[in-house]
Chain A
């Protein structure tokens, strides 16, 4: 018979995330996208703050109440870390754009520096910030 219907060929699918063992470089890539996503919406807080400052003492007091509350502080702490992490990750991408930093040890080192650097800088900024406000309240 010439007119036999053939089953669709069993072609391999390209492997995706769940195939691979999690690696630091992979996790940093995912975190870079997640922090970018978070920062996108976090910009609403920046706009709120600036409009509050432009609107007057009452509007500014409302923002300060939010920023000083526990949930507000948690959000702003997370925002700070996301900002620094995304910035350091971006610098890593700019290094890669020059063709450097792709070696096995280099990329591991850069990924670790990205993570450790982001945590360290965030903690230093908050320490400086809390001291500027006259100590933890």
Chain B
């Protein structure tokens, strides 16, 4: 008779999700968005510099043009996803009171979704011109 080598069930070992129930998903999305952020940030910095000193009409026209708008939307999506993941780690590291932690984790999701949607809405409004 062989003694079991693992305390975990075979299913748990196959799924490989660990104590957090999400496996390496968090780590992976942190890296995925980090890699995406590099070219997108460089592109957005270039866009910002070209917009400096222009009036609202010119800025609106450039920001609403398809290429710039698509870059801006990708940038907003990637950075806000990265923000949510990163702030989640900070909260989990420093906030140990369970109810405070859950409240802040919820607020983190609300904040990142709201800021992302607001910024994206600005771009979409400029693009579609309504």
Contact = CB atoms under 8 A, between A and B. Distances in A.
B45 A125 contact: yes
Contacts of B115: 43-44, 47
A51 B90 contact: no
B109 interface: no
A33 B48 CA distance: 25
Interface string B44-72: 01001110110111011001000000001
Given A43-B83, A53-B63, A53-B122, A129 B41 contact: no
A89 B83 CA distance: 15
Chain A binding site: helix, strand, loop or mixed by DSSP? helix
B122 A51 contact: yes
Given A50-B123, A87-B41, 16 more contacts: A36-B90, A37-B87, A40-B83, A40-B87, A46-B119, A51-B121, A51-B122, A53-B126, A56-B56, A60-B59, A61-B56, A83-B41, A90-B38, A129-B48, A132-B53, A133-B52
Interface of A: 33, 36-37, 39-40, 43-44, 46-47, 50-54, 56-57, 60-61, 83, 87, 90-91, 93-94, 97, 125, 128-129, 132-134
